[in-house]
Amino acid sequence: MKARPVAIVGTGQTRHRKARPDVHQGEMVQEAVNLALLDADLSWDDIDAIVLTNMELFEGRALPDLWCSEFAGGLGKPVMKVATGGTSGTSGAIAGLLQAASGLFDTVLVVGWEKHSEGSTQTGMSLTDPAWDRHIAAGAIGNFALSISQYVAERGVTGEQAAMVAVKARRNGALNPNAHVKDAGITVEKVLASPMLAEPVHLLDMCPQSDGAAALIVVGGDKTRRYKNPAWFRGSATRHDQPYIGDHDKRMVMMRTLRSAAQEVYRKVGIGDPFKEIDIAEIYEPVSYAELAWYEALGFCAEGDAGKLIESGATQIGGDLPVNPSGGVLCSNPVGATGVIRVAEAARQLHLKAGDYQVDGARRALVSGYGVYTWSDVLFFSAERP
């Protein structure tokens, strides 16, 4: 069966911030949804179905879709909530794209949000395996640092090279009005001088926790015709994996999920050389070192060459393959929305609406999602209709 072509034609994001005390969760959702509708020139009545994404334990709400969907215009409509940890946003976007591709709905709204300031993230993170992980609640940073120590030992990347990722992100973020963390004047020295959290990870190597929401409008069939630059959905792949950190042999080096998902998407879309054939990538990098590891897993460079790739400047805006021109996760991270933001930023590049961080000639965009210890989503969009 040939898939029905669908495209993203509108995006909307809140200004992601450390805290948004002026709005409740539902109002924050509504803000992003209204902006997306405005962008796509549609009204609430045009929406046929809604996919929501949020990690409920971070705020301590149970099934928050029951309450918040009304603010997304969901009353009396088919509504589902997708939640898969960090990949929630990309999984929700895939779900919305597939629902529109099914032909049952012409216009699907995807909206993700998180209001970290309302809850305790340490509680949210620690309720994984109650019998095991909860006891050793050393937090995400320590677990990242453990895997990074293996990556550094294997590949020899340096703290300077990781800091260059953080510098690129915060400088890009300074061009993006929605970004939570931005710093146009940041330097490698400043990153390395920031407090050491867990060797070799400095404070400025890490992503923040943000309040924010992001929305996408997906359309299929005749509804796509009125749009000038739709971001056409070309394919996606998802890989989940075993539940404990220690199940993954050198997880950051191997990252078998992301490798396999990327290979599947490249095969579907017909990409032989990702570095040459992709114009822009929005990838889920929770920590600077992860971006380097993901370069290798996504095939942007040869194994072990990630350090050289960041040094070359090729992944900056204006380079051969700009990665996270929006500033990425290192600048804004409202978990349930983070994956939706990646998709929205990739779509904005193809819509040619990315403003100060628009990548010239962006026609093919790659998105990756990351969650739990190794779960991965990969999506591909193009300016060309499939």
Partner 1 sequence: MQENNSEYLFSSITMDLSWNTDVGETMAGFFQRLKAERRLYGTRCSNCLRVYLPPRPVCGNCWQQMNDWVELGEQGTIVGKTVCYYEILDSMTGKPRTTPFVLGLIQIDGADTTLNHFVETPDPDHVSIGDRVETVLRDTLQGNVGDIVHFQWLGPPTTSSQGSKK
Partner 2 sequence: MVYRAVRACLDDASLTMPEIEAVVTASADLWDGKTASNIAITEAVGAVMKAETRISGDGLLALMHGAMMILSGHYQRVLVVAHGKCSEADVDAVSNWCFDPVYQQTLGVTDSQALSLQCQAIKMRAAEMTGEESIGALVRAPSWSDSCGLTVRQGDGACAVVIEAGDDGIVLEGFGYDLDAHYLGDRDLSRCDGLARAAKRAYEMAGLPDSQTDINRHYWSLRAALQLPPWAEAIGACSFIEGLATLPNERHQIQWSGLPPFAAGMQRLIAGVKDLRESPGSDRSLIHGCHGPAGQMQAVCLLHSDGGPC
Contact residues: partner 2, CB under 8 A = 1-4, 24, 26, 55-57, 60-67, 69-70, 74-85, 91, 94-95, 98-99, 101-104, 124-130, 235-243, 256-257, 260, 371-372
Contacts of residue 193, Cβ cutoff 8 Å, sequence gap at least 6: none
In order, the DSSP letters of 109-138 are EEEEEEEGGGS-HHHHHH-S-TTTTTTT--
Residue 197, both tokens: 């959290």
| Cα–Cα distance for residue pair 213/337, rounded to 1 Å | 6
| Cα–Cα distance for residue pair 55/161, rounded to 1 Å | 32
What residues from 150 to 169 belong to the interface with partner 1 (CB under 8 A)? 150, 153
Binding at 76: pick from partner 2, partner 1, none (beta carbon under 5-8 Å per type) = partner 2
Radius of gyration of the chain (CA): 19
Binding at 84: pick from partner 2, partner 1, none (beta carbon under 5-8 Å per type) = partner 2
In this structure, the strands spanning 280-282 and 364-371 are parallel
Among 76, 185, 246, 270, binds partner 1 (CB under 8 A): 246
In this structure, the strands spanning 79-82 and 49-53 are parallel
Among 6, 8, 11, 17, binds partner 1 (CB under 8 A): 17
Element (H, E) at 90: helix 88-101
Residue 42's nearest CA partner among 109, 93, 98, 102 is 109
Binding at 230: pick from partner 2, partner 1, none (beta carbon under 5-8 Å per type) = none
Q: 4 or 276: whose CB is closer to partner 2? A: 4
Q: 94 or 321: whose CB is closer to partner 2? A: 94
Among 34, 102, 128, 149, binds partner 1 (CB under 8 A): 149
Residue 202's nearest CA partner among 210, 193, 211 is 193
Binding at 14: pick from partner 2, partner 1, none (beta carbon under 5-8 Å per type) = partner 1
- The DSSP output letter for 26 is H
Do residues 343 and 329 touch, judged by C-beta distance below 8 A? Answer: no
Q: 99 or 107: whose CB is closer to partner 2? A: 99
What residues from 216 to 245 belong to the interface with partner 1 (CB under 8 A)? 241-245
Q: 267 or 353: whose CB is closer to partner 2? A: 267
Among 3, 23, 80, 254, binds partner 1 (CB under 8 A): 23
Residues that bind partner 1 (CB under 8 A): 14-15, 17, 20-23, 31, 60, 119, 122-123, 129-132, 134-139, 141-143, 145-150, 153, 195-201, 241-247
